[in-house]
Structure 1
């Protein structure tokens, strides 16, 4: 069987997600299993724009990596989308990390910003050249906005393409110190497209077309 032609979107990955949020509107997008608090797709879209605006005010710039040391929470996807809208990169690290681990993550990423919880105040004391953003204050700023901010009001002044970095996860560290990997919008678009195609066609081989160029991929 010939490889199935699969076109990988060239628009930024976060734009694809935000368009899906517009499409599904008031359907539930996220639910906290402990508190049962939920966000609709419309909520995710609106709050992500507010998050992007807050990061822009703080001074987050395109291409820089922002460390995030939070537990799983409803706001995590909002942080991801808010950073992506600014062309910035999310690097998630464990909430219960130790001081030496944090120092290593900061060294590898050269991050100027760290999103943390107030219960980590002792951990983040004395960090030089790093601005600590406490999540509680950041989330309060989203809820306290008086007027809904439409997505069109956010100034998109960062040029973001398929090769722009989207996420910077760390490896598990099974062979030594965890290493930071840089993943692009194209990486995530291709992975998402392949998973969708695999679930539909149940084939093992695809041919991706990115910017008119075919790339072979074996699932």
Structure 2
């Protein structure tokens, strides 16, 4: 795929192509940017950063909520050739200290709400602090104020495609996260690929925190396609429903909780046309399309590879199949066994990925890099299968498989079935050691709002599962929770669940207690 020489060039070209066309709406700030005005302000931010010593190659941590200053800062750093380290705003002192030092950041752009956390970090290498939202103390720089006084014309050495743009921390559920090295080429390939589904008449609703990957590549997608972006402060069903009606939204990421918005089934007074899905329960796929009158398609990707696969919009026969589609032309995939040998269609193995624009390894983690690659291929750690027609299916995380009496059971598959029950908000499935069967299946259940263990008893859950998956996959043990332990990136920490009890069967419903088998 042919791409521009760097992100800055893309921003300049978009300003020339689309001019005063509306580009970005920051919903909660009621701020609007055209392609031209955003480029001008990006240059001002770049000049303000440059005047304070942020030059090509310098590592700059950015700890901001969803706000105008985040995309302005990111694109400004890109134009300078500096390296952005996006910081999860949920981080506490220990997490922040780790990321600041692990990333070798010497500058920090931070919102005033997070300054108290930063000021408690005992050891760091930060030399320059840029504040957003006020709160700057002596020696610190109010970045928006400095940018407002900076010139619009920018002159600085240009980065290349191979220059690092982000150190993007992955959201592991155990231990500290690793920083994936992503270049200008990585982001340009991802943005241009995504732009193929958008036109200048489309508007994309961005709901995820900007420190995650998605809002970043969505911004580049818009710069390529000329579509609009609506950025919200944080995700909620109320905000989602309002934005669909308030703005001409055509495309968004869908999540299962959207199905609670049942009023949209009879309401076609909106422009929503497309929904992107990731790990969406297949049993709910058609219901989503019918409720919101959209074409919804599954995609697969991860921090390390960017785009992996996408289900073509025209493949209507695959709705509800659970397939994540096929790879784009710039991706090569393999499915291999434990020995690294390719497996035939229908057989499960680990997915390997290579191609243009994947990450360059983990920052300062040579041992992790040695394990992460098989030749030029990145080992995703995800188990996949491919059918005879070339469609790919995610089965489970490699470490998220339960082995029961010789059968492999995907925790992900069981979780999808459980979460398709209208009375279940979230579910987590883990293995329980068993002397006879090797491992048994245990499900942790968080009832939906207004539901209790009494209104959704274990017997109902078991019966629901028996109608939808093979008997050997149905959970033996069920335990109810009032909340799940989660990582800073909102992933359920199964390791914490497992560590809470020496005996994972204690206090659980056991469907074999009265009836062995």
TM range (shorter): 0.7 to 0.9
Aligned-partner Cα distance in 2 for 1:198–1:42 = 23
C-alpha separation between the residues in 1 aligned to 2:197 and 2:72?
Answer: 28
> Are the structure 2 counterparts of residues 177 and 159 from structure 1 closer, same or farther at C-alpha, using a change threshold of 3 Å?
same
Instruction: Give 1:182's aligned residue.
Output: 181
CA–CA separation in structure 1 for the residues paired with 2:112 and 2:328: 48
- Structure 2 match to 1:38: 32
Instruction: Answer whether contact 2:25 2:32 (CA < 8 A) is retained.
Output: yes
- 1:198 CA drift (Å): 6.9
Contiguous gaps of at least 5 residues in structure 2: 134-141, 200-311, 313-325, 332-353, 357-389, 393-517
User: TM-score scaled by structure 2?
Assistant: 0.36
CA distance in 1, matches of 2:198, 2:118: 44
Are the aligned partners of 1:124 and 1:132 in contact in 2 as well (CA < 8 Å)? no
**Who is 1:87 aligned against?**
81
- SS of 1:134's partner is strand
> Which consecutive unaligned segments of at least 5 residues does structure 1 have?
1-6, 209-214
Alignment of 1:18-97 (within 5 A): 18-97=12-91
Aligned match for 1:107, one of 77, 80, 101: 101
Q: Secondary structure at the match of 2:180?
A: coil
Contact 1:198 1:204 in 2 (8 A): no
Higher percent of residues as helix: 1
Residues 80-139 of structure 1: per-residue CA shift (max 9 Å, x gap): 111111110111112232110111001111100011122333222266541221123211
Between structures 1 and 2, the one with greater strand share = 2
Matched pairs, number? 201
Secondary structure of the 1:47 match is helix
How much is the aligned-residue C-alpha RMSD, in angstroms? Answer: 2.7
Larger RCO: 1 or 2 (CA < 8 Å, sep 6+)? 1
For 2:179 and 2:90, the matched residues in 1 are separated by: 18
Larger radius of gyration: 2
Q: Mark the CA change 1:25 to 1:128 in structure 2 (over 3 Å): closer, same or farther.
A: same
Tell me, in whole angstroms, the C-alpha distance in 2 between the residues paired with 1:178 and 1:134.
Answer: 25
Aligned mates of 1:193, 1:121 — CA distance in 2: 36
Match of 1:123 among 112, 117, 136: 117
Provide the secondary structure at the position in 2 that maps to 1:67. Answer: strand
